[in-house]
Amino acid sequence: MNEENVHTEDAPKEPSSGRLIATLGIAGFFSGILLVGAYLFTLPMIQANKARALEAAIYKVLPGSKSFETLVLKDGTLEVFKNAEASNQGAPPNSIFAGYDSTGALVGIAVPAEEPGFQDIIVGIYGYNPSAKTIIGFEVLDSKETPGLGDKIVKDMAFKTNFAALSVEPELVVVKKGQKKNPNEVEAITGATISSKAVVRLLQKSIGNWKPAIEKYIATAQKDKQ
């Protein structure tokens, strides 16, 4: 960068490579200590933040739920993920969350899902009631949709009420605003039809993927109770 700096008078002509390695080693050592220190110091807080965010999202899409357990898909079967310490690290990939109300009855299953939207991937989580086969809540966790237009999928309350009780059978259908007649129809946002459609596609695809596993899990859970 600076020519004059390369030839300062105090620099020896050719320091031995030993000294070069030693200096870098010391610098690396100190930065290592600093890094590990900062990592260990902040880790519990970061994990608590993440766990809190996940919990808040689950309780939002499963209204009335007070507790949840993590379910992991293994070879086509859902299993309860019990390792409490590991769940501190965030849920493993391919996991969904069963939410229970204060009496311990199943409210529904919260499923995270993602799908390309108008600008970038939309990441969301929705609550699914397996017995009524309806979606009971939907929240966008992350999206880069156009501010003022596509980001209404996050902010538009009227759009959100679409997902308070949305039947997934026979399949989800997008209709114009104010024309919802059947329980399986979603009213699109004016000026953000592409984003609305992307959200519906996200739900449709994800339900299709998870439904068999969820139904199997519910059936076995009921059998166990009897």
Partner 1 sequence: MDNLIWIFVSALLINNFTLTYFLGICSFLGVTSKLVTALRLGLANIFVMVITAIWAWLLNTYVLTYAPYLRLISFIIVIASTVQLVEMVVKKLSPELYRALGIFLPLITTNCAILALALFATNKGYGLVEGIVYALGAGGGIALALVLMASIREETKLMDIPKVIEGTALSLIIAGILSMAFMGFAGMFSAS
Partner 2 sequence: MSENNSGNEHTSAAEFLKGLWDENPVFVMVLGMCPALAVSNTAINSMAMGLATTFVLVFSSILVSSMRNLIPNQVRLTAYIVIIATMVTVIDFLLAAIVPDIHKTLGAFIALIVVNCIILGRQEAFAAKNNVKLSALDGLGMGLGFTFALLCIGSIREILGSGTLFNVPLFSDKFEPWVIMILPPGGFFTLGFLLLFFNWYKQRRKVKKV
Q: Does 92 bind partner 2 (CB under 8 A)?
A: no
DSSP states along 155-203: H-HHHHHTTSSEE-SS--EEE-TT---STTEEEPPTT-HHHHHHHHHHH
Nearer residue to partner 2 within complex by CB, 120 or 171: 120
CB 138 within 8 A of CB 61: yes
DSSP states along 85-108: HHHHT-PPSSEEEEEE-TTS-EEE
- What DSSP designation does 69 have? E
Q: Does 221 bind partner 1 (CB under 8 A)?
A: no
What number of chain residues touch partner 1 (CB under 8 A)? 18
Which residues, numbered 96-155, are part of the site for partner 2 (CB under 8 A)? 142, 146-149
Please choose, out of 13-21, 98-106, 196-204, 208-216, the segment that lies near partner 1 by the rule CB under 8 A: 196-204
Please choose, out of 3-11, 63-71, 119-127, 160-168, the segment that lies near partner 1 by the rule CB under 8 A: 119-127
Residues 6+ apart with CB under 8 A from 165: 134, 135, 136, 183
Backbone phi and psi for residue 101, each to the nearest 5 degrees, phi listed first: -85, -175
The pattern of x and - marking residues 164 through 193 that bind partner 2 according to CB under 8 A reads ------------------------------
User: Dmax over Cα atoms in the chain, in whole Å?
Assistant: 87
Q: Contacting partner 2 (CB under 8 A), which of 3, 9, 10, 224?
A: 10
Q: Does 6 bind partner 2 (CB under 8 A)?
A: yes
Nearer residue to partner 1 within complex by CB, 38 or 80: 38
Q: Does 49 bind partner 2 (CB under 8 A)?
A: yes
From the list partner 2, partner 1, none, which binds 3 (C-beta under 5 to 8 Å, kind-based)?
A: none
